[in-house]
Structure 1
Amino acid sequence: MSDIEIPSIDVRTLAPAERHPKIFGVLTSLIPRGVMHVTSDHDPRPLHYQIESRYPEEFDWQYLEQGPDLWRVEIQRAQSSGCDCCCGH
């Protein structure tokens, strides 16, 4: 088992205007093969489309829970993509 904590954002606790900026802030800082979790009270499919349009083939998307009241997804940066931070990956 890994000691690395997976970043997790529960958008149910955020104002709507803060949700996508916060998610993209974490998303773009992930190292290759790094993952994050997003929890929502609705299917976050629009977020998936937005990620795919901004970063085609850079992230994998997997549903961990699919409603009806709770939705959880795992988003993983592809091995071949670099992150937007200063770590050099």
Structure 2
Amino acid sequence: MFDNSVYPFDARGVAKRFRHAAIFGALESLDDGETMRFVNDHDPLPLLGQIQQRYGSQVGIAYVAREPGNIVIDFTVQLGAQQEAGGGTAATGSCGGGNGCGCSGG
């Protein structure tokens, strides 16, 4: 059965110079509890660091597959985790107030 709250994002089809901006835009369009399933041909460690710095606990990161040439990561918006952690992460994000991330930076 297909879960409607999981949205695929294949980074391999996005030009390298636009990838991070496209990924951030996709994350910011998600609502609380929704997941973006990210697919890539390499492990995006710098991107993961940027996501953690930008969104903190508001975006959960879970590897689905982690093998050479096949990386699949679920990014899940979890606004409750941000509140449980004592807040603070929303103010440091620079997302512009998108629907899913909980920031009020608009």
Q: TM-score, normalised by structure 2?
A: 0.71
- Cα distance in 2 for partners of 1:75, 1:85 equals 15
Between the two proteins, the alignment pairs up a number of residues equal to 86
Gaps of 5+ in 2: 83-89, 91-96, 101-106
CA RMSD of aligned residues (A): 2.2
Alignment check: 8 A CA contact 1:43 1:71 kept: yes
Which structure is higher in RCO with an 8 Å CA cutoff and minimum separation 6? 1
Partner of residue 86, structure 2: none
Calculate percent identity across the aligned residue pairs.
30
Q: Which runs of 4+ in 1 moved over 4 A?
A: none
Task: Report whether the alignment pairs 1:8 with 2:5.
Answer: no
Partner of residue 59, structure 2: 59
Normalized per residue, the structure richer in helix is: 2
Gaps of 5+ in 1: none
Task: Report whether the alignment pairs 1:72 with 2:72.
Answer: yes
